[in-house]
Amino acid sequence: MRTIAEIHHPKCRISVFFWNQKYLVKLEQDGLEQTFKLNQFDVISEDKLKEMINEEFIESAVKRFDEMRDDMNRAISSKILE
């Protein structure tokens, strides 16, 4: 796996990798992660891939992290209360 980029953002850690003919865009926040896989032939250039990771994309992922955390907390709470 080759690291293409580490993108600094205050709300999550963003890494871009190339592995097995795919680009992987990995976002991490507090023990949660989201990975988006793109076929290498669907990406015109690595610069265009980095442009795709804009503020709108990141904010959408951050909202999804909130939903994931809520889902996990509900699942844990329901098992604790049984």
* Domain boundaries, given as residue ranges, for the chain: 2-80
13-38 confidence digits (pLDDT tens):
999 999 999 999 999 999 999 999 99
Joined tokens for residue 70:
């809520």
Termini Cα distance of the chain: 43
Of 2, 30, 47, 45, the closest CA to residue 15 belongs to 2
pLDDT of residue 78: 80
Give per-residue pLDDT as tens, 1-14.
999 999 999 999 99
pLDDT attached to residue 79: 72
- Over residues 43-52, the pLDDT tens digits come to 999 999 999 9
Whether the per-residue pLDDT at 81 is higher than 90: the answer is no
